[in-house]
């Protein structure tokens, strides 16, 4: 508010100073003018007084009373003081306006020589005029005193006029100043404040547009500018937010490098891949922040050939490895000036793994099919070459052919089963199952197999727990795990079946004290055709697909399966199933 009224106050003070100065000048000019007039008048009147004095002293033609009347008529008092200090004539009392104190002050000033002779002087409201003269051969000083009420009144009137004019001028200035301030200064200041806010980034600031003339045009232009800036900022902010959302939610890592090699931008996927923070990369040279030669070579090729380059490399992550494909492209401005490089990192680990699994699957299937087919063909050729005439050999070879064809059938059956489980339209026959009863139904079947292997089977399954699931598939799971445990326990081994229940889950533990599984191979036992002991697995009649089938069935029930094992100590499989799950 103070800054808004400062111009008006400045102009007001300036006008007051000018008016006061003008009043002082006019008062002084008026005072000087009247003093000159009084001096001329008193100087002229002094001649009459001198004449009256001569007549009064010489022939007494003029009486004391006539001198008083004369002084009263001219409103001027007369005092004659001889050089010896005697006051010979005094008619000041004829002028009642002049007091005794004022008369005495004038006499004192004249006697002390402060006032010059033949020159009018002012003392408050009294004008006095000392004149050297001689009366009846007596030398002395004639002092004429005249009141100047008119001068005082005129001075007062001048100051009243100046005061009235000043008040009127202040009122006019206030009205005009307020009008000018409202129409010109205020809109300009408002526009200036809005411009300041716009410079600070506050694009919502606006100014009033009700003004006219240039001020109105300025206000309108400022508001148009503010609206355009707000729209541009809003659009730019939305674009930046959209771009940031797209970049940060990309599944692939992204890095932007400027023309000098400094990293300007990266996304969340890159940080997750390379395990770092933004401060570790932003503002650093790429070859210092990313310590991988393949990436350095890729960037150098882009700088050298100015074209898109793709390379693959392996990124070690703890004990695992990630296969990454980095694709880099140069960035140019519209005038083909070099701006930098953009790198995109594709995680192709899953593709590599799938490709390797495909290769392994083809190789394993080929290998698994080759053995029984070779055996069947070899024994068939032997029989056709004459061995069938030997009944004993014929029976032996036919038994081998039957065994190998059964193995081949089992392998094909497991492959078809696994393929069926992996299909998107695979459905479970969900029903209410009493888990303890299901497990107890399997025990007589596996006990016979355990007796043949001389393995002791211990079961700890009590209670009545109901879950949702496919009973035939779950029997397949537990039968496979129990059979494997018995097969790998060895002679006089022990297999244990345990059951545990929680609020929402049941856990079935199948453990043995067999050969165990090496730690580095535990993560692979659920792969197709993977065998820890390949020779023994074949001898046991396994296809290498059982655990892969088990894993798919458990996951179809929204459960989990994991393994704990130690070489030459034993292995334990834990199957955890929910009591209820969402059926697809």
Read off the CATH number of the domain in which 92 is found.
3.30.450
> Do both 467 and 548 map to the same domain?
yes
Read off the CATH number of the domain in which 279 is found.
3.30.450.20
Tokens of 338: 């070099």
Tokens of 413: 């059956």
CB 142 within 8 A of CB 80: yes
Q: Return the minimum-mean-pLDDT range out of 6-15, 205-214, 241-250, 347-356.
A: 205-214
Tokens of 238: 């939305």
245 falls within a domain:
no
220 falls within a domain:
no
pTM for the predicted model, two decimal places? 0.44
The CA–CA distances, whole Å, from 384 to 205, 380, 387, 389, 426 equal: 102, 6, 7, 9, 45
Query: Which is more confident, 93 or 263?
Result: 263
Strand-pair partners of 321: 316
* Dihedral in degrees, nearest 10, Cα atoms 261, 265, 267, 268: 90
Q: What is the pLDDT of residues 468-483, one digit of tens each?
A: 888 888 888 888 888 8
> Do both 392 and 510 map to the same domain?
no
CB 88 within 8 A of CB 135: yes
Predicted pLDDT at 538? 47
Mean local confidence (pLDDT), 21-37: 73
Last residue of a domain, one of 402, 422, 442: 422
Any idea what the Cα angle at residue 186 is, between residues 14 and 224, rounded to 5°? 150
CB 189 within 8 A of CB 4: yes
205 falls within a domain:
no
Q: Return the minimum-mean-pLDDT range out of 149-158, 186-195, 400-409.
A: 149-158
Strands 253-258 and 263-266: antiparallel
> Do both 483 and 395 map to the same domain?
no
> Do both 43 and 136 map to the same domain?
yes
21 falls within a domain:
yes
Is residue 380 scored above 50 in pLDDT?
A: yes
Query: Which is more confident, 27 or 267?
Result: 267
Starting at the edge strand found earlier in the chain, the sheet holding 320-332 runs: 263-266, 253-258, 338-347, 320-332, 309-317
Last residue of a domain, one of 326, 347, 368: 347
Give the rounded distance of the alpha carbon of 48 from its chain centre: 101
Q: Which domain holds residue 129?
A: 2-147
* Count of domains forming the chain: 4
Mean local confidence (pLDDT), 501-530: 82
Strand-pair partners of 253: 345
Last residue of a domain, one of 347, 380, 395: 347
Give just the sign of the alpha carbon dihedral 425, 429, 433, 438: negative
In this structure, what DSSP letter does residue 496 have? E
* Confidence band of 150 (pLDDT split at 50, 70, 90): low
CA atoms within 13 A on the CB side of 194: 25
Mean local confidence (pLDDT), 145-161: 70
In this structure, what DSSP letter does residue 386 have? T
370 class by beta-carbon count within 10 Å (0-12 exposed, 13-18 middle, 19+ buried): exposed
The mean predicted confidence, pLDDT, of the chain is: 77
Is residue 456 scored above 80 in pLDDT?
A: yes
CB 342 within 8 A of CB 331: yes
CB 471 within 8 A of CB 505: no
> Do both 366 and 384 map to the same domain?
yes
The CA–CA distances, whole Å, from 21 to 15, 27, 332, 454, 505 equal: 10, 10, 74, 132, 104
CB 470 within 8 A of CB 431: yes
């Amino acid at each position: 508010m103070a800054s808004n009224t400062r111009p008006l106050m400045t102009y007001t003070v300036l006008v007051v100073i000018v008016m006061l100065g003008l009043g002082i000048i006019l008062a002084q000019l008026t005072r000087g003018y009247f003093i000159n007039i009084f001096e001329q008048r008193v100087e002229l009147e002094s001649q009459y007084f001198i004449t009256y004095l001569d007549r009064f002293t010489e022939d007494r033609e003029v009486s004391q009373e006539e001198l008083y009347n004369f002084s009263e008529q001219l409103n001027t008092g007369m005092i004659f003081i001889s050089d010896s200090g005697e006051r010979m004539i005094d008619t000041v009392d004829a002028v009642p306006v002049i007091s005794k104190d004022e008369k005495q002050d004038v006499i004192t000033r004249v006697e002390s020589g402060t006032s010059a002779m033949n020159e009018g002087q002012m003392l408050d409201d009294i004008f006095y005029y000392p004149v050297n003269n001689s009366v009846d051969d007596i030398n002395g000083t004639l002092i004429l005193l005249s009141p100047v009420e008119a001068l005082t009144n005129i001075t007062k009137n001048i100051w009243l006029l100046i005061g009235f004019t000043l008040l009127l001028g202040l009122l006019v200035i206030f009205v005009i100043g307020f009008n000018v301030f409202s129409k010109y200064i205020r809109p300009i200041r408002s526009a200036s404040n809005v411009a300041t806010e716009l410079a600070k980034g506050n694009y919502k600031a606006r100014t009033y547009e009700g003004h006219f003339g240039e001020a109105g045009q300025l206000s309108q232009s400022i508001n148009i500018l503010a609206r355009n800036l707000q729209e541009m900022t809003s659009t730019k902010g939305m674009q930046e937010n959209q771009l940031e959302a797209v970049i940060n939610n990309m599944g692939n890592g992204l890095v932007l490098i400027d023309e000098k090699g400094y990293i300007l931008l990266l996304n969340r996927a890159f940080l997750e891949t390379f395990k770092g923070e933004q401060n570790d990369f932003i503002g650093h040279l790429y070859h210092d922040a990313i310590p991988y030669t393949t990436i350095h070579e890729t960037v150098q090729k882009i700088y050298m050939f100015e074209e898109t380059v793709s390379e693959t490399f392996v990124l070690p992550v703890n004990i695992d490895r990630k296969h990454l494909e980095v694709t880099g492209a140069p960035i140019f401005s519209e005038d083909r000036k070099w701006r930098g490089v953009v790198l995109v990192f594709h995680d192709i680990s899953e593709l590599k793994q799938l490709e390797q699994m495909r290769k392994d699957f083809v190789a394993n299937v080929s290998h698994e099919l080759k053995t029984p087919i070779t055996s069947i063909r070899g024994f068939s050729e032997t029989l056709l070459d004459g061995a069938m005439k030997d009944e004993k050999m014929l029976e032996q070879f036919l038994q081998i052919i039957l065994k190998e064809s059964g193995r081949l059938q089992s392998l094909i059956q497991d492959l078809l089963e696994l393929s069926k489980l992996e299909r998107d339209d695979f459905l479970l026959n969900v029903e209410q199952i009493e888990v303890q009863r299901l497990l107890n139904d399997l025990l007589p079947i596996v006990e016979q197999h355990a007796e043949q292997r001389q393995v002791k089977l211990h079961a700890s399954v009590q209670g009545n727990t109901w879950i949702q699931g496919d009973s035939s598939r779950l029997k397949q799971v537990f039968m496979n795990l129990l059979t494997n445990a018995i097969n790998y326990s060895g002679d006089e081994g022990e297999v244990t079946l345990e059951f545990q229940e929680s609020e929402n889950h049941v856990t079935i533990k199948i453990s043995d004290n067999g050969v165990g599984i090496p730690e580095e191979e535990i993560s692979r036992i659920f792969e197709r055709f993977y065998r820890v002991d390949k020779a023994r697995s074949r001898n046991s009649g396994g296809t290498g697909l059982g655990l892969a089938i088990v894993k798919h069935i458990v996951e179809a029930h929204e459960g989990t399966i994991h393994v704990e094992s130690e070489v030459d100590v034993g292995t334990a499989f834990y199957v955890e199933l929910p009591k209820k799950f969402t059926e697809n």
